[in-house]
Amino acid sequence: MRNIEVMSDAEVARIPESLPVMVLSGATLFPHGYMPLFIFEQRYREMLRYVLQNQRMFCVGHARSGIDDDEHPDPVFPVTTAGLVRACVTHDDGTSHLMLSGLQRVEITGWEQDAPFRIASVVPRPSHVDKPEAVVGVAHDVVDLCTRLCGKNVPMSTQLREHLRGVKDPAAISDVVAQNFVNDPSDRQILIEMTDVYGRLKFLAHHLSRQLAKGQS
């Protein structure tokens, strides 16, 4: 019999000072984004049990290329996102499907545990807006570019389009767009490390404009 656990918004706790880290190659979770995961390795089964018994939070660490992530003392890029297990289905064979929801950028400052799974010390990396007037205009441009891409080379569901139109926070817009429209792992890592919202939106506007041009060529 499957075990199903779901968390509501009212149950979300503050981000703790230490979090487990799941090391994955080329994987980046953004705040306001979602990532479905299939947990099958024994170490991550143990990690998931720990997570569900505590704050239901962990990070997905983008693994550095060309290293053995089991042996290297610093296997992931330090800036990542604290994620919340919104829903989890555990199967009879011990594997699990879960949905991880991005909460906030954090920076890994050290390691408290290496085995059986990694636990890191983390500090928040909040976003900031240096150009409040300009950032609103760029956010509108980014949403417009996303809408224009619908039906071209980048699929966009009606649900996502309506969600973007309803989001008022430029920081949230930048992260939702980054999660859904940027595929290159290097570009995604650049964006997750950017705390300046205006800079993120300008980066995305350039990226989306190139995608749109490819679709029209």
Q: Does domain 3-124 have CATH number 3.40.50.720?
A: no
For residue 102, the model assigns a pLDDT of: 95
CB-CB contact of 37 with 100 (8 Å):
yes
Greatest extent of the chain over all pairs of C-alpha atoms, in Å: 54
For residue 25, which phi and psi values (nearest 5 degrees)? -80, 125
Q: What is the DSSP letter of 196?
A: B
pTM: 0.85
Helix (H, G, I), strand (E, B) or coil at 64: coil
Tokens 């660490």 appear where?
Answer: 61
The more confident residue out of 2 and 11 is 2
For residue 215, the model assigns a pLDDT of: 66
What residue ranges do the domains of the chain occupy? 3-124, 132-216
Q: How far is CA 124 from the centre of its chain?
A: 14
Q: For 23-65, how does the pLDDT look when each residue is reduced to its tens digit (9 = 90+)?
A: 998 889 999 999 999 999 999 999 999 999 999 999 999 988 8
